[in-house]
Amino acid sequence: SHSQSDQFCDAGVGYSESTCGISSSKLLIKGGTVVNAHHQQIADVYVEDGIIVAVQPNIKVPDDVTLLDATGKYVMPGGIDPHTHLAMEFMGTETIDDYFSGQAAALAGGTTMHIDFVIPVNGSLVAGFEAYEKKAKKSCMDYGFHMAITKWDESVSREMEIMVKEKGINSFKFFMAYKGSLMINDELLLQGFERCKSLGALAMVHAENGDAVFEGQKRMIELGITGPEGHALSRPAVLEGEATARAIRLAKFVNTPLYVVHVMSIDAMEEIAKARKSGQKVIGEPVVSGLVLNDSGLWDPEFITAAKYVMSPPIREAGHDKALQAALSTGVLQLVGTDHCVFNSTQKAFGIDDFRKIPNGVNGIEERMHLVWDTMVESGQISVTDYVRITSTECARIFNIYPRKGAILAGSDADIIIFNPNSSFEISASSHHSRTDTNIYEGRKGKGKVEVTIVGGRVVWKDDELKVVPGCGKYIEMPPLSYLFNGIDKADAKYRSSLKAPVKRFKSTS
């Protein structure tokens, strides 16, 4: 039933007759444990017209209000996925989950907002933004945009200002890999960092040494290693560590905060740890695949099974997963994304003779909340409040939309999940809501279940049924100068005064 031609995925997806926002606009969630990043308490949550109105014990309401009993369960902010690629053109094809199917999958898994990467069109940021505005028209949940920077000139620099001041974008991703397509060199990276700083926008990096990856790929092909395992062997962790260290040092030189996306290795994580220890503002985002999987799948005898694990940076050898979990539990890494970037088996088969042609990307938008719970909370590594922080609140803070998002507080958007810690989940391509025909977590079971998802005050997921409305999702503008920029100007002033040298120390006498 999950073919690329599905207009909307049919796996249990229904359509609510209500229009966005108006009907069932009053909700009372009774008796649950309300969890925020800073605090948890047993309380009721009252919602009107998509906004949380009150959070306190024993709220009394009239009869016409819809009641949801959350006794014995957690009431938490819906997940925010900081890293997705819906309907992205990439490696000669397009990701098979679009803004409807990808978001439907997200909602079934308790994620109520995502931030996707706009890819410029022919280098134009404005054209890229307009293309993504169109793609996002069928949204059924709120979303924001990062912007990828794939080349550099005066017009890109000018358009960055338009994005920040007029379009609600406060973050830009620079690719240090994908030589020949998205990669940029150090000169451009530096100029890009400077521009981000001047706009109060957050610089993000895909940190792998793209030149070395290119050489590593040639090496594998020369050795006759053309299968999916060649993908991992061609771009080892040392190249991720190198690029992460380089990006961190350049961000230090510029004195601007840095966000490292998809941290997949101990090598990269330790560079982030070292920088943070020295006081540098560096954020590290592990993704679910890197936290819970290892590279063994890439050696599967079936091409399609092995190819589904191909993403960049690659999923690493056993050991990196546990180290990333530990780093997340101690605050060395701060939030969890997915890099949801899905291609079906037909698309993955483009690389049957050459791993370099396998479209890079894995699923995760539907599985993130469950897998992070099972891996981090059930294992005893983090608290329930920490879970809310790393799946929702910290993302909202970094991208400057807190407390509208990422909190169960009066005045916040009513994007809420009811989570039953005593139930269980099981993952399979036969029951997931993504349009793809495989799942990298096939057969995985664990404790805990998102039983209800509420987005914008509407119940969209309950009793394993999705009722989503295309067009109900809103674009969330993200203002510049998040908390990460606090103190940057003071540090700059201190740096200038530390130089001691007068501006013109020697003068020619002629």
In the complex, the residues that contact Zn ion under the rule CB under 5 A are: 1-2, 6, 9-10, 206, 339
Which CB, 150 or 312, lies closer to ligand URP?
Answer: 312
What's the closest the beta carbon of residue 423 comes to ligand URP, in angstroms?
31
Residue 311 binds which entry of Zn ion, ligand URP, none, CB below 5-8 Å type-dependent: ligand URP
What's the closest the beta carbon of residue 508 comes to ligand URP, in angstroms?
52
Cα separation, 32 vs 418, whole angstroms: 8
In the set 82, 228, 361, 480, which binds ligand URP (CB under 6 A)? Answer: 361
Cα separation, 262 vs 268, whole angstroms: 10
The angle at the Cα of 44, spanning 40 to 49, to the nearest 5 degrees, equals 115
CB 145 within 8 A of CB 168: yes
| Residue 351 amino acid letter | G
Which CB, 25 or 289, lies closer to ligand URP?
Answer: 289
Are β-strands 465-467 and 458-462 bridged in parallel, bridged antiparallel, or unpaired?
A: antiparallel
Q: Considering CB under 6 A, how many residues would be counted as binding ligand URP?
A: 9
Which alpha helices (H) appear in 62-136, and where do they start and end?
A: 101-108, 125-135
Which CB, 92 or 380, lies closer to Zn ion?
Answer: 92
In the set 312, 334, 392, 453, which binds ligand URP (CB under 6 A)? Answer: 312
In the set 2, 30, 73, 85, which binds ligand URP (CB under 6 A)? Answer: 85
Where are the strands (E) in 345-398, listed by range? none
Q: Whose structure tokens read 């479209």?
A: 359
Q: Which residue is nearest to Zn ion (CB)?
A: 206
Q: Interface residues for ligand URP in 212-271 (CB under 6 A)?
A: 262
Where are the strands (E) in 36-170, listed by range? 40-48, 51-56, 66-69, 74-77, 79-84, 89-90, 93-94, 111-118, 142-149
Binding mask 366-395 for ligand URP (x = CB under 6 A): ------------------------------
Q: What sign has the CA pseudo-torsion 183, 189, 191, 194?
A: positive
Residue 508 binds which entry of ligand URP, Zn ion, none, CB below 5-8 Å type-dependent: none
Among residues 291, 285, 490, 254, which one has the least CA distance to residue 399? 285
In the set 87, 341, 396, 452, which binds ligand URP (CB under 6 A)? Answer: 341
Which CB, 101 or 360, lies closer to ligand URP?
Answer: 360
Which CB, 30 or 85, lies closer to Zn ion?
Answer: 85
Residue 361 binds which entry of ligand URP, Zn ion, none, CB below 5-8 Å type-dependent: ligand URP
For position 179 contacting ligand URP by CB under 6 A, the verdict is: no
What's the closest the beta carbon of residue 383 comes to Zn ion, in angstroms?
28
Are β-strands 416-426 and 171-175 bridged in parallel, bridged antiparallel, or unpaired?
A: unpaired
Q: At 130, list the tokens.
A: 């307009």
Q: Which residues bind ligand URP (CB under 6 A)?
A: 85, 206, 262, 311-312, 339, 341, 360-361
